[in-house]
Amino acid sequence: MRAYVAPTGCTQVDELRIVQLTDPEPGPGQVVVRIRAASINYRDQAVVAGRYLGGSVSRDTIPLSDGAGEIEAVGAGVTQFKPADRVAATFFQAPPNGSPFGSPASLGWPLDGVMAERVLLYEDGVVPIPVQLSFEEAACLPCAGVTAWNALVRAGKPIVAGDTVLVLGTGGVSILALQFAKAAGARVIATSSSDAKLERVKELGAEAVINYTRTPAWEGEVLKLTGGRGVDCVVEVGGLGTLNRSMQCVGSGGKVVLMGVLTGMTGDVNPYILIGKNASLHGIFVGDRAMFLEMNDAIAAGGIKPLVDRVFPFEELVVALRYQAAGQFIGKVVVRV
């Protein structure tokens, strides 16, 4: 089978190469998934560039964490799936060369990822795809979708109808959070540096938008838009560069949910902003399989479809990574396998 590999010590996308690997065979409790589509996250860029957590990859590694496809083969004892079932891989997996009860790790690093024609996983490492979704749409969900769902529904007080949610930017997590918030009956305020992107998010249901280039003190605009009350939830993908402003935006009893580092991991933070509001700050790292299943039920019931900006062929992974890194997309960038 064909697969991409980020070689040991990889520091740039140009080092990625296509290799031929032996097709995997399922052991007890395992499934082989024929990957049909994979989506790109900011984390994948950091892994390939050698900037993720501990630095560059220490062995040849198949990149990307988010993939969808169909079951091609099942091992002894598998009861949840059969060949031809349409599935998506969960972000966290028991390492396939170890016990199904081993400590889970994330796809794309330290585990091999999904940028291969076939991947070997334990059956608890996949979930069924909602029937209305294509493989390309389903591939948007494992990291960005579950993160957005966790932020709105599982972290702290769940968002309910009538609440106001602030989403920063127009990447995968933010757009899916907008879609989930609208499905829940919440009001959404969105930020971006692009007027064209802001027009698009208004089409998706955002009631108010802010261009943060023209309005650098955007926290003041958020307070104006909420009559001084503040929002019930901030989906904080920026990191320490935007966190103080986000905490100023949150209202009484609200929450700031931090899951991104787009503005960096250093900076001055004043958490005392939250005290007088009885507000909370939650750090989250994606979510578990139960959240994925819960989210998929909501997607199926609400007819939600992830926004796919552009789909690239397998042979153009490097082009797709460069396109995503340029930041001109909205929603998700996907590679068809």
CA distance 337 to 332: 16
This prediction's pTM: 0.94
**What digits encode the pLDDT tens for the residues 140-155?**
999 999 999 999 999 9
**What digits encode the pLDDT tens for the residues 47-59?**
999 999 878 999 9
Estimate to the nearest angstrom the gap between the alpha carbon of 13 and the chain centroid. 20
Contact 302, 5 (CB under 8 A): no
Architecture of the domain defined by 2-140+306-336: Alpha-Beta Complex (3.90)
- Following DSSP, what letter does each residue of 177-244 receive, concatenated? HHHHHHHTT-EEEEEES-HHHHHHHHHTT-SEEEETTT-S-HHHHHHHHTTTS-EEEEEE-S-HHHHH
**What digits encode the pLDDT tens for the residues 220-240?**
999 999 999 999 999 999 888
Asked if pLDDT for residue 88 goes beyond 60, the answer is: yes
Choose among 252, 4, 293: nearest CA to 146: 293
Q: How confident is the model at residue 262 (pLDDT cuts 50, 70, 90)?
A: low
Domain boundaries, the chain: 2-140+306-336, 145-283
Contact 234, 256 (CB under 8 A): yes
Choose among 92, 2, 48: nearest CA to 320: 48
Q: How confident is the model at residue 266 (pLDDT cuts 50, 70, 90)?
A: low
| Neighbouring-strand partners of residue 283 | 258
Sequence-distant (≥ 6) Cβ neighbours of residue 54 within 8 angstroms: none
CATH topology of domain 145-283: Rossmann fold (3.40.50)
**Cα atoms found within 13 Å of the Cα of residue 55, Cβ hemisphere only:** 4
